Structure 1
Amino acid sequence: MGNCTKIRNKQLKDFESLSSKARERLLSTSESVKLPKGSLVFEESQSLNKLFCIKKGACKFSKTDNSGQEHILRFLGEGEAMGKRSVATNLGARVSAIALTETELCCLDKFEIQKNLEGNPKFCQDFLDSLIEDADINDNTRMLFYSSKGIKSRLAKLLLYLANKFGTDEKGRLNIKIKRDDMASVLGTSPEYIINLLRKFKDLKLIDIQKSELYIASKSGLEIIAA
Protein backbone atom coordinates (compact mmCIF):
# COMPACT_ATOMS: atom_id res chain seq x y z
CA MET A 1 0.00 0.00 0.00
CA GLY A 2 0.94 3.66 -0.34
CA ASN A 3 -0.25 6.82 -2.03
CA CYS A 4 -1.29 6.84 -5.67
CA THR A 5 1.24 8.47 -7.97
CA LYS A 6 -1.33 9.53 -10.58
CA ILE A 7 -5.10 9.99 -10.68
CA ARG A 8 -6.69 8.42 -13.75
CA ASN A 9 -10.39 8.42 -14.48
CA LYS A 10 -11.73 8.94 -17.98
CA GLN A 11 -15.21 9.97 -16.80
CA LEU A 12 -13.74 12.74 -14.64
CA LYS A 13 -11.25 13.67 -17.37
CA ASP A 14 -8.32 12.52 -15.21
CA PHE A 15 -9.16 15.31 -12.71
CA GLU A 16 -7.66 17.89 -15.07
CA SER A 17 -10.15 20.53 -13.87
CA LEU A 18 -8.41 20.55 -10.47
CA SER A 19 -5.44 22.80 -9.85
CA SER A 20 -2.03 21.15 -9.48
CA LYS A 21 -2.15 22.00 -5.76
CA ALA A 22 -5.58 20.37 -5.34
CA ARG A 23 -4.40 17.24 -7.17
CA GLU A 24 -1.34 17.05 -4.93
CA ARG A 25 -3.56 17.23 -1.82
CA LEU A 26 -5.81 14.53 -3.23
CA LEU A 27 -2.81 12.30 -3.99
CA SER A 28 -1.35 12.88 -0.52
CA THR A 29 -4.56 11.52 1.08
CA SER A 30 -5.01 8.68 -1.45
CA GLU A 31 -4.30 5.00 -1.07
CA SER A 32 -3.25 2.49 -3.71
CA VAL A 33 -4.73 -0.94 -2.98
CA LYS A 34 -4.32 -4.31 -4.70
CA LEU A 35 -7.15 -6.82 -4.31
CA PRO A 36 -7.25 -10.50 -5.28
CA LYS A 37 -10.00 -11.81 -7.54
CA GLY A 38 -13.31 -12.17 -5.70
CA SER A 39 -12.58 -9.50 -3.09
CA LEU A 40 -15.42 -7.31 -1.84
CA VAL A 41 -14.65 -3.64 -2.48
CA PHE A 42 -17.79 -2.47 -0.69
CA GLU A 43 -21.22 -3.87 0.01
CA GLU A 44 -24.76 -2.70 -0.56
CA SER A 45 -25.88 0.01 1.92
CA GLN A 46 -22.33 0.51 3.22
CA SER A 47 -21.36 4.08 4.07
CA LEU A 48 -18.36 4.99 1.90
CA ASN A 49 -15.56 7.44 2.65
CA LYS A 50 -13.61 6.79 -0.56
CA LEU A 51 -13.98 7.11 -4.30
CA PHE A 52 -12.55 3.96 -5.88
CA CYS A 53 -10.84 4.44 -9.25
CA ILE A 54 -9.92 1.24 -11.12
CA LYS A 55 -6.27 1.41 -12.21
CA LYS A 56 -6.03 -2.22 -13.35
CA GLY A 57 -8.47 -5.10 -13.48
CA ALA A 58 -12.26 -5.27 -13.48
CA CYS A 59 -15.16 -5.21 -11.03
CA LYS A 60 -18.86 -5.90 -11.05
CA PHE A 61 -21.83 -4.11 -9.47
CA SER A 62 -24.49 -6.41 -8.09
CA LYS A 63 -27.55 -6.47 -5.84
CA THR A 64 -28.98 -9.33 -3.82
CA ASP A 65 -32.73 -9.93 -3.73
CA ASN A 66 -34.79 -11.14 -0.76
CA SER A 67 -34.17 -14.77 -1.69
CA GLY A 68 -30.39 -14.27 -1.66
CA GLN A 69 -30.07 -14.34 -5.46
CA GLU A 70 -27.34 -12.11 -6.89
CA HIS A 71 -28.18 -9.87 -9.86
CA ILE A 72 -25.26 -8.35 -11.75
CA LEU A 73 -26.04 -4.85 -12.96
CA ARG A 74 -22.81 -3.65 -14.51
CA PHE A 75 -19.20 -4.51 -15.32
CA LEU A 76 -16.50 -1.88 -14.77
CA GLY A 77 -12.94 -1.72 -16.04
CA GLU A 78 -9.83 0.45 -16.08
CA GLY A 79 -10.49 4.17 -15.95
CA GLU A 80 -13.90 3.86 -14.27
CA ALA A 81 -14.79 4.89 -10.73
CA MET A 82 -17.01 3.36 -8.06
CA GLY A 83 -18.79 5.18 -5.24
CA LYS A 84 -19.50 8.53 -6.94
CA ARG A 85 -23.11 8.61 -5.76
CA SER A 86 -22.08 8.12 -2.12
CA VAL A 87 -19.43 10.84 -2.43
CA ALA A 88 -21.98 13.30 -3.80
CA THR A 89 -24.92 12.46 -1.52
CA ASN A 90 -23.48 10.91 1.67
CA LEU A 91 -25.93 8.02 1.15
CA GLY A 92 -24.88 4.38 1.47
CA ALA A 93 -23.90 2.35 -1.57
CA ARG A 94 -26.80 1.15 -3.71
CA VAL A 95 -24.87 -1.89 -4.92
CA SER A 96 -22.07 -4.22 -3.90
CA ALA A 97 -18.77 -3.97 -5.79
CA ILE A 98 -16.66 -7.12 -6.23
CA ALA A 99 -13.32 -7.62 -8.00
CA LEU A 100 -13.73 -9.90 -11.03
CA THR A 101 -9.98 -10.15 -11.52
CA GLU A 102 -6.90 -9.19 -9.57
CA THR A 103 -7.59 -5.48 -9.30
CA GLU A 104 -5.62 -2.38 -8.39
CA LEU A 105 -7.57 0.60 -7.05
CA CYS A 106 -6.69 4.20 -6.35
CA CYS A 107 -8.82 5.11 -3.33
CA LEU A 108 -9.45 8.85 -3.05
CA ASP A 109 -10.57 10.61 0.11
CA LYS A 110 -14.26 11.52 -0.05
CA PHE A 111 -13.92 14.72 1.98
CA GLU A 112 -11.09 16.07 -0.19
CA ILE A 113 -13.28 15.45 -3.24
CA GLN A 114 -16.22 17.18 -1.58
CA LYS A 115 -14.06 20.25 -0.89
CA ASN A 116 -13.25 20.44 -4.58
CA LEU A 117 -16.90 19.97 -5.53
CA GLU A 118 -17.81 22.92 -3.32
CA GLY A 119 -15.02 25.21 -4.49
CA ASN A 120 -14.45 24.31 -8.15
CA PRO A 121 -17.45 24.76 -10.51
CA LYS A 122 -15.66 23.07 -13.44
CA PHE A 123 -14.86 19.97 -11.40
CA CYS A 124 -18.42 19.98 -10.05
CA GLN A 125 -19.72 20.00 -13.64
CA ASP A 126 -17.39 17.14 -14.61
CA PHE A 127 -18.66 15.16 -11.62
CA LEU A 128 -22.30 15.86 -12.52
CA ASP A 129 -21.65 14.86 -16.13
CA SER A 130 -20.13 11.57 -14.91
CA LEU A 131 -23.25 10.82 -12.84
CA ILE A 132 -25.46 11.47 -15.87
CA GLU A 133 -23.20 9.23 -17.96
CA ASP A 134 -23.53 6.50 -15.30
CA ALA A 135 -27.33 6.72 -15.55
CA ASP A 136 -27.13 6.38 -19.35
CA ILE A 137 -24.75 3.41 -19.06
CA ASN A 138 -27.07 1.73 -16.56
CA ASP A 139 -30.07 2.22 -18.87
CA ASN A 140 -28.16 0.85 -21.88
CA THR A 141 -26.88 -2.11 -19.86
CA ARG A 142 -30.38 -2.97 -18.67
CA MET A 143 -31.59 -2.91 -22.29
CA LEU A 144 -28.69 -5.16 -23.28
CA PHE A 145 -28.96 -7.69 -20.47
CA TYR A 146 -32.71 -7.69 -19.84
CA SER A 147 -34.26 -7.30 -23.28
CA SER A 148 -37.26 -9.36 -24.40
CA LYS A 149 -35.07 -11.49 -26.67
CA GLY A 150 -34.19 -15.06 -25.70
CA ILE A 151 -31.18 -16.12 -23.66
CA LYS A 152 -29.30 -17.28 -26.77
CA SER A 153 -29.48 -13.82 -28.34
CA ARG A 154 -28.61 -12.07 -25.09
CA LEU A 155 -25.63 -14.36 -24.47
CA ALA A 156 -24.28 -13.42 -27.89
CA LYS A 157 -24.80 -9.75 -26.97
CA LEU A 158 -23.03 -10.28 -23.65
CA LEU A 159 -20.00 -11.88 -25.32
CA LEU A 160 -19.79 -9.00 -27.81
CA TYR A 161 -20.16 -6.49 -24.98
CA LEU A 162 -17.32 -8.08 -23.00
CA ALA A 163 -15.11 -8.17 -26.10
CA ASN A 164 -15.80 -4.50 -26.87
CA LYS A 165 -15.43 -3.30 -23.27
CA PHE A 166 -12.40 -5.30 -22.14
CA GLY A 167 -10.86 -6.28 -25.47
CA THR A 168 -9.33 -9.50 -26.80
CA ASP A 169 -5.80 -10.61 -27.56
CA GLU A 170 -4.54 -11.31 -31.08
CA LYS A 171 -6.05 -14.82 -30.94
CA GLY A 172 -9.47 -13.58 -29.90
CA ARG A 173 -9.19 -14.54 -26.23
CA LEU A 174 -11.29 -12.33 -23.99
CA ASN A 175 -9.06 -10.19 -21.80
CA ILE A 176 -11.45 -10.71 -18.90
CA LYS A 177 -12.36 -14.13 -17.54
CA ILE A 178 -16.03 -14.25 -16.52
CA LYS A 179 -17.41 -17.18 -14.56
CA ARG A 180 -20.35 -19.03 -16.05
CA ASP A 181 -22.21 -18.29 -12.80
CA ASP A 182 -21.77 -14.56 -13.45
CA MET A 183 -23.03 -14.89 -17.02
CA ALA A 184 -26.06 -16.75 -15.70
CA SER A 185 -26.66 -14.06 -13.08
CA VAL A 186 -26.53 -11.32 -15.70
CA LEU A 187 -28.94 -13.11 -18.03
CA GLY A 188 -31.29 -14.53 -15.41
CA THR A 189 -30.79 -18.22 -16.10
CA SER A 190 -28.86 -21.20 -14.76
CA PRO A 191 -25.09 -21.81 -15.15
CA GLU A 192 -25.90 -25.18 -16.72
CA TYR A 193 -27.94 -23.51 -19.48
CA ILE A 194 -25.12 -21.04 -20.14
CA ILE A 195 -22.59 -23.89 -20.38
CA ASN A 196 -24.88 -25.71 -22.83
CA LEU A 197 -25.29 -22.60 -25.00
CA LEU A 198 -21.54 -21.93 -25.00
CA ARG A 199 -20.98 -25.48 -26.24
CA LYS A 200 -23.47 -24.85 -29.06
CA PHE A 201 -21.69 -21.58 -29.93
CA LYS A 202 -18.44 -23.53 -30.03
CA ASP A 203 -19.96 -26.18 -32.33
CA LEU A 204 -21.07 -23.36 -34.63
CA LYS A 205 -17.48 -22.03 -34.57
CA LEU A 206 -18.63 -18.71 -33.12
CA ILE A 207 -16.35 -19.09 -30.10
CA ASP A 208 -13.64 -21.40 -28.87
CA ILE A 209 -13.12 -22.61 -25.31
CA GLN A 210 -9.70 -23.61 -24.04
CA LYS A 211 -9.17 -24.40 -20.35
CA SER A 212 -12.24 -22.32 -19.44
CA GLU A 213 -10.90 -19.34 -21.43
CA LEU A 214 -13.29 -17.92 -24.03
CA TYR A 215 -12.16 -16.94 -27.53
CA ILE A 216 -14.25 -14.93 -29.99
CA ALA A 217 -13.95 -16.86 -33.27
CA SER A 218 -16.64 -15.11 -35.33
CA LYS A 219 -17.76 -11.67 -34.24
CA SER A 220 -20.02 -11.38 -37.28
CA GLY A 221 -21.66 -14.70 -36.44
CA LEU A 222 -22.38 -13.57 -32.89
CA GLU A 223 -23.78 -10.30 -34.24
CA ILE A 224 -26.26 -12.24 -36.40
CA ILE A 225 -27.50 -14.20 -33.35
CA ALA A 226 -27.60 -11.04 -31.23
CA ALA A 227 -29.67 -9.08 -33.78
Structure 2
Amino acid sequence: MKKIQLPMCETCKARLDSIFSMLSKEELEMLSLQKHCNYYMKGQVIFTEGSFPIGLFCINSGKVKISQSGFEGKDQIIRLAKDGDIIGYRALISGEAYTATAAVIEDSKICLIPRNVFFGFLQNNADITQRIMKLLAVDLREAVNKITILAQKPVLERLAEVLLMLKEYYGFAEDDPSLNITITREEIANIVGTATETTIRLLSDLRKEGIIDIDGKKIKILKPESLTKLANLYD
Protein backbone atom coordinates (compact mmCIF):
# COMPACT_ATOMS: atom_id res chain seq x y z
CA MET A 1 0.00 0.00 0.00
CA LYS A 2 1.26 3.48 -0.82
CA LYS A 3 -0.18 6.96 -0.78
CA ILE A 4 -0.91 8.48 -4.16
CA GLN A 5 -1.97 11.79 -5.62
CA LEU A 6 -5.43 12.37 -4.23
CA PRO A 7 -8.23 11.73 -6.76
CA MET A 8 -10.72 14.59 -6.59
CA CYS A 9 -14.31 13.59 -5.85
CA GLU A 10 -15.57 16.27 -8.25
CA THR A 11 -13.92 14.58 -11.24
CA CYS A 12 -14.07 10.95 -10.08
CA LYS A 13 -15.62 8.76 -12.80
CA ALA A 14 -16.59 6.13 -10.24
CA ARG A 15 -18.63 8.69 -8.26
CA LEU A 16 -21.50 8.43 -10.73
CA ASP A 17 -21.95 4.80 -9.64
CA SER A 18 -21.54 5.50 -5.92
CA ILE A 19 -23.71 6.65 -3.03
CA PHE A 20 -22.10 10.09 -3.43
CA SER A 21 -23.43 10.75 -6.94
CA MET A 22 -26.01 13.28 -5.73
CA LEU A 23 -23.69 15.42 -3.58
CA SER A 24 -23.42 19.11 -4.39
CA LYS A 25 -20.21 20.68 -5.67
CA GLU A 26 -19.52 22.14 -2.23
CA GLU A 27 -20.06 18.79 -0.50
CA LEU A 28 -17.76 17.04 -2.98
CA GLU A 29 -15.04 19.63 -2.42
CA MET A 30 -15.33 19.18 1.34
CA LEU A 31 -15.17 15.40 0.95
CA SER A 32 -12.04 15.66 -1.20
CA LEU A 33 -10.28 17.71 1.47
CA GLN A 34 -11.06 15.28 4.29
CA LYS A 35 -10.45 11.85 2.75
CA HIS A 36 -7.26 9.86 2.21
CA CYS A 37 -6.40 7.71 -0.78
CA ASN A 38 -3.98 4.80 -1.17
CA TYR A 39 -2.78 2.51 -3.94
CA TYR A 40 -3.05 -1.21 -3.20
CA MET A 41 -1.28 -3.85 -5.25
CA LYS A 42 -2.95 -7.18 -6.07
CA GLY A 43 -3.16 -9.36 -2.96
CA GLN A 44 -2.79 -6.56 -0.42
CA VAL A 45 -5.28 -6.43 2.45
CA ILE A 46 -7.45 -3.37 3.08
CA PHE A 47 -8.91 -4.49 6.41
CA THR A 48 -8.97 -7.75 8.33
CA GLU A 49 -11.67 -9.76 10.04
CA GLY A 50 -11.74 -8.87 13.75
CA SER A 51 -10.26 -5.38 13.38
CA PHE A 52 -12.29 -2.23 14.00
CA PRO A 53 -13.19 0.33 11.33
CA ILE A 54 -11.77 3.85 11.33
CA GLY A 55 -13.78 5.01 8.35
CA LEU A 56 -15.55 4.12 5.12
CA PHE A 57 -13.62 2.73 2.15
CA CYS A 58 -14.65 3.79 -1.36
CA ILE A 59 -13.15 2.15 -4.46
CA ASN A 60 -11.87 4.73 -6.93
CA SER A 61 -10.64 2.04 -9.33
CA GLY A 62 -9.91 -1.67 -9.12
CA LYS A 63 -11.54 -4.81 -7.80
CA VAL A 64 -11.83 -6.17 -4.25
CA LYS A 65 -12.94 -9.44 -2.66
CA ILE A 66 -14.58 -9.69 0.75
CA SER A 67 -14.07 -13.05 2.45
CA GLN A 68 -14.77 -14.77 5.75
CA SER A 69 -12.69 -17.50 7.33
CA GLY A 70 -14.56 -20.79 7.50
CA PHE A 71 -13.91 -24.32 8.66
CA GLU A 72 -10.26 -25.35 8.83
CA GLY A 73 -9.22 -21.84 7.82
CA LYS A 74 -10.78 -22.06 4.35
CA ASP A 75 -11.96 -18.69 3.04
CA GLN A 76 -15.46 -18.09 1.70
CA ILE A 77 -15.79 -15.12 -0.66
CA ILE A 78 -19.05 -13.41 0.26
CA ARG A 79 -18.85 -10.34 -1.97
CA LEU A 80 -16.96 -8.75 -4.84
CA ALA A 81 -16.62 -5.00 -5.22
CA LYS A 82 -15.62 -2.66 -8.05
CA ASP A 83 -15.25 1.02 -9.01
CA GLY A 84 -17.68 3.23 -7.09
CA ASP A 85 -18.55 0.63 -4.45
CA ILE A 86 -18.15 1.26 -0.73
CA ILE A 87 -16.93 -1.46 1.64
CA GLY A 88 -16.82 -1.87 5.40
CA TYR A 89 -19.98 0.14 6.02
CA ARG A 90 -21.87 -2.46 8.06
CA ALA A 91 -19.18 -2.68 10.76
CA LEU A 92 -18.74 1.10 10.71
CA ILE A 93 -22.44 1.76 11.23
CA SER A 94 -22.88 -0.94 13.89
CA GLY A 95 -19.71 0.03 15.76
CA GLU A 96 -18.53 -3.57 15.72
CA ALA A 97 -15.44 -5.34 14.42
CA TYR A 98 -15.23 -6.38 10.79
CA THR A 99 -16.71 -9.83 10.23
CA ALA A 100 -14.74 -10.30 7.01
CA THR A 101 -11.42 -9.45 5.35
CA ALA A 102 -11.11 -7.22 2.28
CA ALA A 103 -8.24 -7.75 -0.17
CA VAL A 104 -7.63 -6.44 -3.69
CA ILE A 105 -7.69 -8.89 -6.61
CA GLU A 106 -6.50 -6.27 -9.09
CA ASP A 107 -4.33 -3.21 -8.42
CA SER A 108 -6.67 -0.62 -6.90
CA LYS A 109 -6.99 2.99 -5.79
CA ILE A 110 -9.07 3.15 -2.64
CA CYS A 111 -10.16 6.20 -0.67
CA LEU A 112 -10.81 6.25 3.08
CA ILE A 113 -13.43 8.62 4.44
CA PRO A 114 -12.85 9.13 8.20
CA ARG A 115 -15.59 7.93 10.55
CA ASN A 116 -16.59 11.42 11.74
CA VAL A 117 -16.81 12.74 8.17
CA PHE A 118 -19.01 9.84 7.06
CA PHE A 119 -21.38 10.17 10.02
CA GLY A 120 -21.53 13.91 9.40
CA PHE A 121 -22.80 13.22 5.90
CA LEU A 122 -25.35 10.74 7.25
CA GLN A 123 -26.70 13.32 9.67
CA ASN A 124 -26.92 16.11 7.10
CA ASN A 125 -27.80 14.33 3.87
CA ALA A 126 -31.02 12.30 3.73
CA ASP A 127 -30.18 10.97 0.26
CA ILE A 128 -26.99 9.26 1.44
CA THR A 129 -28.81 7.86 4.49
CA GLN A 130 -31.49 6.35 2.25
CA ARG A 131 -28.89 4.85 -0.06
CA ILE A 132 -27.05 3.25 2.85
CA MET A 133 -30.35 1.82 4.14
CA LYS A 134 -31.01 0.37 0.68
CA LEU A 135 -27.52 -1.19 0.60
CA LEU A 136 -28.12 -2.82 3.98
CA ALA A 137 -31.48 -4.17 2.79
CA VAL A 138 -29.90 -5.57 -0.38
CA ASP A 139 -27.13 -7.16 1.70
CA LEU A 140 -29.73 -8.93 3.84
CA ARG A 141 -31.64 -10.17 0.81
CA GLU A 142 -28.47 -11.46 -0.86
CA ALA A 143 -27.39 -13.21 2.34
CA VAL A 144 -30.73 -15.04 2.51
CA ASN A 145 -30.50 -15.94 -1.19
CA LYS A 146 -26.97 -17.26 -0.75
CA ILE A 147 -28.01 -19.49 2.15
CA THR A 148 -30.83 -20.89 0.02
CA ILE A 149 -28.55 -21.46 -2.97
CA LEU A 150 -25.86 -23.21 -0.94
CA ALA A 151 -28.42 -25.39 0.80
CA GLN A 152 -30.50 -26.41 -2.20
CA LYS A 153 -28.56 -26.08 -5.46
CA PRO A 154 -26.07 -28.62 -6.83
CA VAL A 155 -22.52 -27.41 -7.41
CA LEU A 156 -22.88 -27.11 -11.20
CA GLU A 157 -25.94 -24.87 -10.82
CA ARG A 158 -24.09 -22.70 -8.31
CA LEU A 159 -21.07 -22.41 -10.60
CA ALA A 160 -23.22 -21.43 -13.57
CA GLU A 161 -24.97 -18.80 -11.45
CA VAL A 162 -21.64 -17.40 -10.22
CA LEU A 163 -20.36 -17.07 -13.79
CA LEU A 164 -23.53 -15.22 -14.76
CA MET A 165 -23.20 -13.02 -11.68
CA LEU A 166 -19.63 -12.10 -12.68
CA LYS A 167 -20.85 -11.30 -16.20
CA GLU A 168 -23.67 -9.12 -14.87
CA TYR A 169 -21.50 -7.32 -12.33
CA TYR A 170 -18.24 -6.77 -14.21
CA GLY A 171 -19.36 -7.11 -17.81
CA PHE A 172 -17.15 -8.08 -20.72
CA ALA A 173 -13.81 -6.73 -21.87
CA GLU A 174 -13.97 -4.51 -24.96
CA ASP A 175 -14.73 -6.42 -28.20
CA ASP A 176 -14.36 -9.72 -26.36
CA PRO A 177 -16.75 -11.99 -24.43
CA SER A 178 -14.12 -12.38 -21.67
CA LEU A 179 -15.24 -11.46 -18.16
CA ASN A 180 -13.81 -8.07 -17.24
CA ILE A 181 -12.12 -9.49 -14.16
CA THR A 182 -9.02 -11.60 -13.58
CA ILE A 183 -10.00 -14.32 -11.13
CA THR A 184 -8.36 -17.57 -10.04
CA ARG A 185 -10.00 -20.99 -9.93
CA GLU A 186 -9.58 -20.96 -6.15
CA GLU A 187 -11.42 -17.64 -5.87
CA ILE A 188 -14.27 -18.96 -8.02
CA ALA A 189 -14.43 -22.06 -5.81
CA ASN A 190 -14.57 -19.86 -2.71
CA ILE A 191 -17.55 -17.99 -4.12
CA VAL A 192 -19.34 -21.17 -5.20
CA GLY A 193 -18.61 -22.86 -1.89
CA THR A 194 -16.85 -25.97 -3.14
CA ALA A 195 -13.39 -27.47 -3.56
CA THR A 196 -10.98 -25.95 -6.07
CA GLU A 197 -10.54 -29.35 -7.73
CA THR A 198 -14.29 -29.62 -8.29
CA THR A 199 -14.41 -26.13 -9.80
CA ILE A 200 -11.53 -26.91 -12.16
CA ARG A 201 -13.25 -30.10 -13.33
CA LEU A 202 -16.61 -28.41 -13.90
CA LEU A 203 -15.04 -25.47 -15.74
CA SER A 204 -13.25 -27.97 -17.97
CA ASP A 205 -16.57 -29.71 -18.67
CA LEU A 206 -18.21 -26.38 -19.58
CA ARG A 207 -15.31 -25.62 -21.87
CA LYS A 208 -15.61 -28.99 -23.64
CA GLU A 209 -19.31 -28.28 -24.20
CA GLY A 210 -18.46 -24.94 -25.82
CA ILE A 211 -20.31 -22.93 -23.18
CA ILE A 212 -17.19 -21.10 -22.00
CA ASP A 213 -13.56 -20.77 -23.03
CA ILE A 214 -10.58 -20.29 -20.73
CA ASP A 215 -7.36 -18.39 -21.39
CA GLY A 216 -5.22 -18.35 -18.25
CA LYS A 217 -7.23 -16.50 -15.60
CA LYS A 218 -9.62 -15.06 -18.19
CA ILE A 219 -12.96 -16.74 -18.81
CA LYS A 220 -15.01 -16.19 -21.96
CA ILE A 221 -18.76 -16.65 -21.78
CA LEU A 222 -19.65 -18.08 -25.19
CA LYS A 223 -23.20 -19.25 -24.49
CA PRO A 224 -24.79 -17.27 -21.63
CA GLU A 225 -28.18 -18.79 -22.42
CA SER A 226 -26.75 -22.25 -21.69
CA LEU A 227 -25.42 -21.03 -18.34
CA THR A 228 -28.85 -19.60 -17.54
CA LYS A 229 -30.39 -22.99 -18.24
CA LEU A 230 -27.76 -24.82 -16.17
CA ALA A 231 -28.28 -22.39 -13.29
CA ASN A 232 -32.01 -23.14 -13.43
CA LEU A 233 -32.81 -19.44 -13.59
CA TYR A 234 -35.68 -19.62 -16.07
CA ASP A 235 -38.99 -18.29 -14.81
Amino acid at match of 1:161: M
| Maintained 8 Å contact 2:183/2:217 | no
Specify which of 17, 26, 50 is matched with residue 10 of structure 1: 17
The percentage of aligned residue pairs carrying the same residue is 25
Q: Secondary structure at the match of 2:53?
A: coil
2:141 aligned with 1:136 = yes
CA distance in 2 between counterparts of 1:140 and 1:11 reads 24
Aligned residues: 224
Instruction: Tell me by how many angstroms 1:157 deviates.
Output: 0.9
Is there any run of 5+ residues in structure 1 with no aligned partner, and where? Answer: none
Amino acid at match of 2:46: V
* TM-score where L is the length of structure 1: 0.89
| Mapping for residues 24-173 of structure 1, pairs under 5 Å | 24-65=29-70, 67-144=72-149, 146-169=150-173, 170-173=175-178
Root-mean-square deviation (Å): 2.0
1:225 aligns with: 230
CA distance in 2 between counterparts of 1:22 and 1:69 reads 42
CA distance in 2 between counterparts of 1:9 and 1:100 reads 23
Amino acid at match of 1:154: R
Is there any run of 5+ residues in structure 2 with no aligned partner, and where? Answer: none
- Cα distance 1:141–1:59, how it changes in 2: closer, same or farther (>3 A)? farther
Instruction: Tell me by how many angstroms 1:195 deviates.
Output: 0.9
| Mapping for residues 138-217 of structure 1, pairs under 5 Å | 138-144=143-149, 146-169=150-173, 170-217=175-222
Q: Secondary structure at the match of 2:203?
A: helix
Q: Secondary structure at the match of 1:223?
A: helix
Q: Secondary structure at the match of 2:66?
A: strand
List, as ranges, runs of 4+ consecutive aligned residues in structure 1 with deviation greater than 4 Å: 141-144
